[in-house]
Chains A and B, each alone.
Chain A
Amino acid sequence: MKLLQRQSSWFFYFLPALIIYIVFTIFPIANSLRMSFFQGSGFNLDTFVGFENYRRLFFDPLISENFWNAFGNTWVFFLVHMLVQNTLGILFANLLLAQTGKWGSFYRTMIFLPSTLAILVTGFLWKLLLNPQWGVITMIAAAIHPELAQPWLGNSESALITISLISSWQWVGIPTMIFLASLQSIPNDLFEAAAIDGVTWWQVFWYIKLPLVRPIIGVVAILTFTGNFNAFDIVFAMAGINGGPVYSTDILGTYFYRIGIAGEHPVGIPNVGLGATVASLVFLFLFLGVMLIRVFTRERN
């Protein structure tokens, strides 16, 4: 009896977390998967339609055009983050590693500071800076060269890149801190040995630091991937619910919100079944994507 108690007692410690996880994570995901097979009026989903919602999302031109557009835009959004945010993160971490003393902590604070701002604040702040009428950036750009003073958020060619760069600016502190922590854990003797061999800074970076932080690159890639495919707020704050201009900044998050929650202005009646389908697909992408990234980084280990 006593043994049994001891053996099963772990379960009682485990239970509260399990209940919370089931109620707030497993159940909503399962329910949203279920809802993706239904249609109905408003939030009252009462008609089972099988894979009809998926078919419409993929193949009905009226709906699929916006869906695939949002899907493509989300990839652009993600790739800009990988290229700019995470590359800068590695670079900053390397520079910070060399900076000890008070300047080091000053730079660290400056790089991390934007991550502490609310996304809506960042969005409105940059919108103001970029405003074609009274934005500071527009004024400076115009003083340098009149061609540079463009409505960057208003052109469908530049708006998505602009928003992705601003989001990268905001979050660059996170990968920087993660990379810095992992660089600091590399044993010093490796660097000393390299110094004795007389290798260059670049060789140290390429042959020592990079291979040793590779698993961390995987972790950062997963964080960026899940963050970006769930992103919504920065686009909502800067381009509005339609992901304007002409849906050029519409990502899966804003598309889902428009279809499944708010509905198209001005009628504003959402198609909840279709929204649940988008949500289920995003979940599926994330699941597959995370698996893939894990496989890649594990093999290298």
Chain B
Amino acid sequence: MSRILQITLVVLALFFFLSAGGQEEKVTLEMGSWRTDDTEKMNEVIALFEAEYPEISVSFEPTNPPDYNASLRLRLESGTGPDIFYARSYATGVQLYEDGFMLALNDWDVLDQTYADGAQGPWTSGDGSVFAMPFLAVSHGVYYNQDIFEELNLSIPTTWDEFISVAQTIKDAGYIPVANALADQWDITEVVFMNIAPNFIGGQEGREAYDNSERTFNDEYVVSLFEAIDSLQPFLPNGYEAIGYNDSKALFQLGDAAMMFDGSWTIKEHEDAIDAFKWGIFAPPSPTDEQYITFHPDNGIAINPATDHPQEAKLFLEWLAGDAGSKAVADQLPGFFPMKSNPPVLNNAYSNEFLGLNKGRGLDVRWTWPSMMEGNPSGYQLIQEASVAVLTDRATPTEAANSFQDGLALWYAPAQ
């Protein structure tokens, strides 16, 4: 009996000794993220890094997206935050930086060597500090069913009027023209309204005219934007009031719906689900002959100032920004575009199709992100409520535009 005890003790002691020794050599970085869907793919990217740097291991631990901001803040405040983490762009990110939960990266050479000032902008605070490495951007457009377009002899619409007449032809043929719907309200806000908005307000230049008080938020451009949203109503699926984002994607994947406004992040899902027909992406139609693409900086990566391993964290970020890392990320995550000045060649055809749309078109971010998110009610919330009101006939486009202006005027100086 006592011999067994002795052996057990020796084994246990050896075990603790060895594992403690192992820990001293190997550094583990915890990486926070809201991309639960990407866990498998990111682990493959990380495996490549670990093969190159065996002394560092990175564990990718994403949180359910709607809970991410709140749970990350809670963890950072209680001192148990991850070593590195995905950073939201603009106001949401700035707030965390200003509260001291992100390391300023201005002195880090890699940043300026790899990323243009424009790419750093979304993660730059008011005092000019860059608080995260720009990581990935997403694009927006219209997915369409090429078989239905061929069957009905349709060509890709570039103007809004063409788009409506294409939608009418599709409807007459018995298909659902546009799969988008209202049950998940962010669908209409983020992937329809913000998708077409730059076309109607004139891209970045137009957006800045609003922020410089040169335009009012209920001018003719905004009214025409809400009119465009309103004009979609006859072409949405039956019962669109109660159809959610996932239902919409299913309607497109089943071939019932011919078109869907959506973001590049859906590429992988469509690739996996669609076998029966050919599909592609076109640029959001515009009221003028000038077209814009909403190319939105989605996530940066920040370093926790409280981490025990800032050097290792920087090493990992440098690798992600480098040739091998950014290529691995782009290949593993189609639809998410590395924001480097010299981006890697993408191997996914649909990703390239999205990127191809950028050529010859102006780019801008989602309208409300840079400066309309901080107040109450946020520009996002106002656009959402107004778009839903227009599509459920509770407001005219003019009333919708007025409510946008009036709501912003409560707190946003350029609207006052």
Counting chain B CB atoms within 10 Å of each CB, the highest count among A131, A156, A265 belongs to A265
Contacts of B22 in A (CB 8 A): none
B residues with CB within 8 A of A:
66-70, 73-74, 77, 91-92, 95, 99, 182-186, 190, 237-243, 247, 251, 256, 373-374, 376-378, 380-381, 385, 388-389, 392, 394, 410
- Since A131-B242, A151-B243, A263-B69 are in contact, a sample of 6 more A-B pairs with Cβ atoms closer than 8 Å, ordered by chain A residue number, is A131-B243, A151-B239, A153-B242, A265-B66, A267-B373, A267-B374
**Interface of B, helix, strand, loop or mixed by DSSP:** helix
Evaluate contact between A240 and B69: CB separation under 8 angstroms.
no
Asked if residues A42 and B392 are in contact (CB atoms below 8 Å), the reply is no
Residues of B within 8 A of A240 (CB): 183-185
Task: For the complex formed, measure the closest distance between the CB of B191 and the CB atoms of chain A, giving whole angstroms.
Answer: 12
Contact B378 A154 (CB under 8 A): no
Chain A residues touching B, majority SS = loop
B240: contacting residue among A150, A154, A264, CB under 8 A:
A154
Is there an interface contact between B99 and A42, defined as CB atoms closer than 8 Å?
A: yes
Which of A42, A150, A245 gathers most chain B CB within 10 Å? A42
Query: A261 to B70, Cβ gap below 8 A?
Result: yes
**Cα–Cα distance between A152 and B242 once the two chains are bound (Å):** 7
Nearest-Cβ distance from residue B67 to partner chain A, whole angstroms: 6
Q: Are A154 and B186 in contact (CB under 8 A)?
A: no
Contacts of A133 in B (CB 8 A): 237-239, 243, 247, 251, 256
Query: Which residues of A sit under 8 angstroms from B68, Cβ to Cβ?
Result: 268
B95 CB contacts on chain A under 8 angstroms: 41, 269
Given known contacts A132-B242, A153-B242, A245-B241, A263 and B70 CB-to-CB distance under 8 angstroms: yes
Q: List A contacts of B410 (CB < 8 A).
A: 62
Closest to A162 in B: B242
CA A241 to CA B67, docked complex, whole Å? 12
As a 0/1 sequence over residues 260 to 287 of chain A, the CB contacts with chain B under 8 angstroms (1 = contact) are 0111111111100000000000000000
Known A-B contacts A154-B182, A245-B182, A245-B392; A262 and B66 likewise in contact (beta carbons under 8 Å): yes
Q: In the assembled complex, which residues on chain B have CB atoms less than 8 Å from the CB atom of A138?
A: 239
> How far is the CB of B64 from the nearest CB of chain A, in Å?
10
Q: Which residue of B lies closest to A245 (CB)?
A: B241
Q: In the bound complex, do residue B242 and residue A151 qualify as a contact, i.e. CB atoms below 8 Å apart?
A: yes
* A160 CB-CB contact with B under 8 Å: no
Interface hub of A41, A132, A264, A270 (most chain B Cβ within 10 A): A132
Size category of the binding interface on chain A: 35 or more
Instruction: Report if A87 contacts B (CB, 8 A).
Output: no
Are B377 and A62 within 8 A (Cβ)? yes
Judging by beta carbons under 8 Å apart, are B73 and A43 in contact? yes
Min CB distance A203 to B, Å, is: 46
Among residues of A, the one whose C-beta sits closest to the C-beta of B78 is: A43
CB-CB under 8 A from A268, the residues of chain B are 66-70, 92
- The 4 A-B pairs at the shortest CB distance, nearest first, are namely A132-B239, A154-B241, A154-B242, A268-B69
Does the CB pair A132–B238 fall under 8 Å? Answer: yes
- Given A153-B183, A265-B186: A43 in contact with B74 (beta carbons within 8 A): yes
* A 237-269 contacts with B by CB, 8 A: 240-242, 244-246, 261-269
Is residue A184 within 8 Å, beta carbon to beta carbon, of the partner chain? no
A135-173 interface code vs B (CB 8 A; 1 in, 0 out):
000100000000001111111100000000000000000
Interface residues as binary, A185-227 with B (CB distance below 8 Å gives 1, 0 otherwise): 0000000000000000000000000000000000000000000
Choose from B67, B239, B389 the contact partner of A154 (Cβ within 8 Å): B239
Q: Which residues of B contact A263 (CB under 8 A)?
A: 69-70
* Distance, CA A130 to CA B238, complexed state (A): 13
Q: Which residue of B lies closest to A260 (CB)?
A: B70
Q: Which residues of A contact B247 (CB under 8 A)?
A: 131, 133
Question: Which residues of A are found within 8 Å of B243, using beta-carbon distances?
Answer: 131-133, 151, 154
Whole-angstrom distance between the alpha carbons of A42 and B81 in the complex? 14
Q: With a CB–CB cut-off of 8 A, which chain A residues contact B183?
A: 153-154, 240, 244-245
Instruction: Across the interface, name the chain A residue whose C-beta is closest to B76.
Output: A42
Q: Is A7 an interface residue (CB 8 A)?
A: no
CB-defined contacts of B70 to chain A, threshold 8 Å: 261-263, 268-270
Asked if A9 lies at the interface with its beta carbon under 8 angstroms from chain B, I say no
Shortest Cβ gap from A244 to chain B (Å): 6
Closest chain B residue to A241, Cβ basis = B66
Task: Determine if A301 is an interface residue (Cβ-Cβ < 8 Å).
Answer: no
Contact for A246 among B99, B377, B385, CB less than 8 A: B385
15 A-B residue pairings within 8 Å (CB atoms): A43-B74, A131-B239, A133-B238, A151-B239, A151-B242, A154-B243, A240-B185, A246-B392, A262-B66, A262-B67, A265-B66, A267-B374, A268-B68, A268-B70, A269-B95
